[in-house]
Chain A
Amino acid sequence: MEKEILRKELKVSAIENGTVIDHIPSGSVFQVIKILNLTEYQNQLLIATNLDSQKMGKKGIIKVSNKFFKSDEINKIALFAPTATLIIIKNFEVVEKKKVEVPDYAENIVKCFNPNCITNNEEITTRFTVIDKADLKLRCHYCEKITARKNIAFR
């Protein structure tokens, strides 16, 4: 057991201060980076994907140095990575662990799956109300159609 933990640590090195986003579905790692605007991030950023996970089979992990997210900012990723866990690190110590929560609203993150929706035809900020958090169903503020989990796409 100890050996395994050690091996895990070796795969992605520890950060001194910042946020670790763990248990991201492997396919969503790059979406999470986009949603959190980390593509232009100037501090140390460690990204790994397709790591073995007992819980998930394969998982991704992102370690963001010197960054502590506001909850409404980080909860946006729950739409794509509902399994994600957050670990807050200070001085190499875990100070807090929490799960992401699906937000009540989603603004300009998700694309409406209805091709005839005005938001897919003009430059308009998309707005959704999350009507089912467990099953993930979002109602478009504009066309009123429901985008379900299987149709969710990043804008």
Chain B
Amino acid sequence: MKNKSLVSINDFTREEHIRILELAGAFEKRPKQRILEDYVVATLFFEPSTRTRLSFESAATRLGARVIGFSDSSSSSVTKGETLRDTILTVSNYCDIIVMRHPKEGSARFASEVAKVPVINAGDGANQHPTQTLLDLYSIRKTQGSLDNLNVAFVGDLKYGRTVHSLVQALCNYNTTFHLVSPLELKLPSAVKMSIKERNLEYYQSTDLQDVIQKVDILYMTRIQKERFADPLDYEKVKNAYVLRNNMLINAKPNLKILHPLPRVNEITSDVDDNPMAYYFTQALNGVFVRQALLASILGVVE
């Protein structure tokens, strides 16, 4: 994976995904290793994303790397009208790897073609956010022991959530049975459903959350945003139907784990947090180990 950019989850093969997850496991055991002391990591956040940026910077710093960059485009030369191409060409003189978040879709692919150093996509508009997908895979594998043959429910906004789209596509490599729970207005787009159908995997669509809870190993919750509805009345009708409460988990399988890409608003009530099935905060911690694994393997420090 040395010098290979990570723009889209499909840029890495299934074997490479597994290799990253294994490496992440090693970093979880020993998170502080100064193996990147001679390296400079640039984090270019053309739009703010505190959580993702801090996770990357924490990963880099724990490996001894120096971090340079900006946390939103108002503090960069973008405000002076510089093109993305020029920014990337310039910054790639200053660093060994670029981590980039940008509001335009396709910006990360373009940057990876322009840059002299590898690029890790930390989110390009509504398109891809592969490191989120890898940390989701890591969390699933760690809690279930394997990625194969699981029942996974996706709940909430399945139409606009890129996190959901990428993870569904990645899980298609592991014989997953999908349970897609959403209001009718926010169903999984047909282009994404196509990847499930191409693999002849089982999937069930429904609007009822309670029904699927007892059937699944992973419950992947997402937030339903009011702005997604043309008619505010439609939002009012569904907003409480996709809220997970602790008492709904009584008949759940003992191995069930609840994931959420965060930030959470009200779709998981706080009484769930103390349930051992709640995994979303550990999931965020796992992001650091996965990003350590990516930085170290793309920079060629580990194999």
Contacts and interface: CB of A to CB of B under 8 A. Distances in A.
Contacts of B103: 116
Contact of B109 (A112, A123, A142): A142
Contacts of A145: 105, 127
Nearest to B104: A118
Interface string A87-116: 000000000000000000000000010101
B128 A144 contact: yes
A142 B7 CA distance: 10
B161 to A, nearest CB: 15
Contacts of B191: 146
B81 to A, nearest CB: 12
B178 to A, nearest CB: 21
B84 interface: yes
Nearest to B103: A116
B126 A116 contact: yes
Interface in A134-155: 140-146
A124 interface: yes
A142 B85 CA distance: 14
A121 interface: yes
Contact of A123 (B83, B102, B104, B125): B83
Interface residues of B, number: 18
Contact of A143 (B84, B85, B106): B106
Which one of B105, B107, B110 has the highest number of Cβ atoms from chain A below 10 Å of its Cβ? Answer: B105
Interface in B112-133: 124-128
Contacts of B110: 118-119, 122, 124, 142
B8 interface: yes
Contacts, number: 52
Contacts of B107: 118, 142
A117 interface: yes
B30 to A, nearest CB: 36
Contact of A117 (B84, B85, B104): B104
Nearest to A119: B106
B31 to A, nearest CB: 33
A142 B106 contact: yes
A122 B128 contact: no
A148 B191 CA distance: 12
B164 to A, nearest CB: 15
A118 B113 CA distance: 13
B83 A142 contact: no
Nearest to B85: A122
Interface in B1-31: 8
Given A144-B8, A144-B127, A146-B191, A122 B109 contact: no
- The 9 A-B residue pairs whose C-beta atoms are closest, nearest first, are A142-B106, A143-B105, A143-B106, A118-B106, A118-B104, A118-B107, A142-B109, A117-B106, A118-B110
Interface of B: 8, 83-85, 102-107, 109-110, 124-128, 191
Given A116-B125, A118-B124, A122-B84, 7 more contacts: A117-B105, A118-B84, A118-B110, A119-B106, A122-B110, A123-B83, A142-B106
